[in-house]
Amino acid sequence: MAGARAAPRFLLVFDFDETIVDENSDDSVQRGRALPEELRLGARGRPYNEHMRRVLAWLGEQGVRPADLRAVYENLPLSPGVPELFQFLSKHRQLFEVVLISDANVYGVEAKLRAAGARSLFRKVFSNPASFDRRGFLLLGPYHSHKCLQCPANMCKRKILGEYLAERAREGAEFQRVFYVGDGANDFCPAGMLRAADVAFPRRGYPMHRLIQERQEEQPGAFQAAVVPWESAAEVARYLQELLRRKC
């Protein structure tokens, strides 16, 4: 069709906590508040998603209102270089399809992205469902169920990414490369499905980076994607800019 927009050539996948933002947002909403012993002990004995549901309910009981939580999420600091990376992606929207997969919650993630002026960059945000009830308590749910033994019961990012790629393929989108920017152990699982043409961008020194290094040492060649560690997300932007310059 004349004038139709070309499909993006690349898929860029982001994590949120300690990737886009420089903190763990679940920790941030609790800052300055001493959790009761039951909740502190429960963090060690319960699935994390269930623990956070209880923490958010307790915060509501302590008088934390929706506006208070929104302010926390909106004021989360961006990780170094993220504004530069967002600027790069904004200039190249026709080439990059961008999605986010996070084990935080969709309310907090979208509040921060909107505050940063970046929500429109993302075609999809995959995160645990969260909404306020009549009391003003933020109710958190699990994202899905799965059979992956590596991931927490509420979310396997590999399953989400695999289903998304299959969905986009059915819609006619074929990405030349997939790029994955993350930091945590739960980002290692989806990064393991990347191909040799793809690139994993683990935050240097964080669990995702260490797990990739261990896999490369224990099973050379088992981790197929190129690995480009970063300390500033501006390094990711420079890598992608050089890729475009070489017209791969």
What is the per-residue pLDDT across 132-182, written as a single tens digit (0 to 9) for each? Answer: 999 999 999 999 999 999 999 999 999 999 999 999 999 999 999 999 999
- Mean pLDDT, residues 22-26 taken together: 97
| C-beta separation of 183 from 203 below 8 A | yes
Residues of the chain with pLDDT > 90, as a percent, come to 89
> Which tokens in the block code for residue 92?
């190249």
pLDDT of residue 186: 96
Catalytic position from the list 17, 22, 27, 187: 17
Residue 55, pLDDT > 50, answer yes
Task: Give how far Cα 202 sits from Cα of 120, 171, 186, 208, 232, Å.
Answer: 24, 29, 12, 6, 11
- Which of 172, 177, 148, 175 is closest to 160 using CA atoms? 148
Q: What pairs with residue 130 in β-bridges? A: 140
3-state secondary structure of 153: coil
Residues 6+ apart with CB under 8 A from 57: 137, 139
Residue 4, pLDDT > 80, answer no
Catalytic annotation on 198? no
Catalytic position from the list 15, 133, 187, 198: 15
Q: Is 183 known as a binding-site position? A: yes
Q: Is the pTM of this model over 0.85?
A: yes
pLDDT of residue 248: 53
- Which of 205, 166, 14 is closest to 98 using CA atoms? 14
pLDDT of residue 3: 45
Catalytic annotation on 15? yes
- Mean pLDDT, residues 204-233 taken together: 96
Q: Is 22 known as a binding-site position? A: no
Q: Is 17 known as a binding-site position? A: yes
- All structural domains of the chain with their residue ranges: 10-22+78-128+144-245
Residue 77, pLDDT > 80, answer yes
* Rounded Cα–Cα distance for residues 131 and 137 (Å): 8
Helix 37-45 vs helix 48-61: crossing angle, to nearest 10 = 160
Q: For residue 100, is it left (φ>0), alpha (ψ between -120 and 50) or beta?
A: beta
Q: Which fold is adopted by the domain 10-22+78-128+144-245?
A: Rossmann fold (3.40.50)
